[in-house]
Structure 1
Amino acid sequence: MTTTPLRLLQLFTVLSAGLIAATAVLSITDPAAVNAVVWIRATGVLILALFSLRWAAQLGRGSRGAYRRLLWISIVGSLGIAALALLPDSPFPLWVRIEQAVQGLVLVALAVTLLSRQVRRAVEGAR
């Protein structure tokens, strides 16, 4: 099976860790740039990214459950991030919305990859 889903999820995890690091640094240097919602979002996204790495490893072994979880996350996550980044009354500062938009693009790429024939065949063939 292609390693693209794993690579995309590794990138997603690096971005998530970067969000936590930026949140920590800004909470010290510019506390007005960080609120509790940012901490909750950053922590939740990092936890999801770590679980996703595990599911990517399972997907590499042909797990249909991991495939479904990752497909669900990539589609629903992309839509959620789009709402977060585009809604004018978002509780997130602009820097978080920009970072999340980048992560949303990674999730879109993941969805496209997961829906490719190569990945679907590999999962179907592993039954």
Structure 2
Amino acid sequence: MTRTPRLLIAAYLLLSLATLVVAYLLRHHPDLVNDAVWVRATIVVGSAAVCNWLAARGDVKRLRIIAIVMTVAIAVIVSVPLPFPLWLKLEQIACGLLLIGVVLTLRGRQAAKGGAHDVGLGRVPERRQ
């Protein structure tokens, strides 16, 4: 079992939590931390926590869906001129790169294994019939 997807997702969570801490430390600078930063940082921490939970369960399908959705959301955030400050956009680019790594790693393992089973995330939930 490889740890690559789990490590990438753990890094995504740590970076997201660090961003929330930085936002708190810079809270008295409205040009650096506005309401959009608080909302986005909170959403990202939540999605990172869910991704870690899914990885621990071995739920590859849902993990890939969330990673793809968050990557698309990051692309939108980075491309719009407002309301996000540059530092948050740079952090989001780093998060996006981690998530792209997750998606590519999971896709590569699925193709190599011939399906969604045993992709290096732990146990695969059994299907009910």
TM (norm. structure 1) is: 0.84
In structure 1, runs of 5+ residues without a counterpart are 60-65
Which runs of no fewer than 5 residues in structure 2 stay unpaired?
119-123
Deviations 1:34-55 (A, max 9, x none): 1111111111111111121111
Name the CA distance, whole Å, in 2 between partners of 1:76 and 1:10. 18
1:6 aligns with 2:6: yes
User: Quick check: which one's helix share is greater?
Assistant: 1
Per the alignment, residue 16 of structure 1 pairs with: 16
Q: CA deviation at 1:117?
A: 2.8
Given that residues 2 and 119 in structure 1 are in contact (C-alpha distance below 8 angstroms), is that contact kept between their aligned partners in structure 2?
A: no
* Distance change (3 Å), C-alpha of 1:41 and 1:9: same
RMSD: 1.9
Q: 1:1-127 residue pairs with structure 2 within 5 A?
A: 1-28=1-28, 30-59=29-58, 66-88=59-81, 90-117=82-109, 121=113, 123-124=116-117, 126=124
For this pair of structures, how many residues does the alignment match?
119
Q: Deviations over 1:4-31 (max 9, x none)?
A: 1110010000100111011001103x23
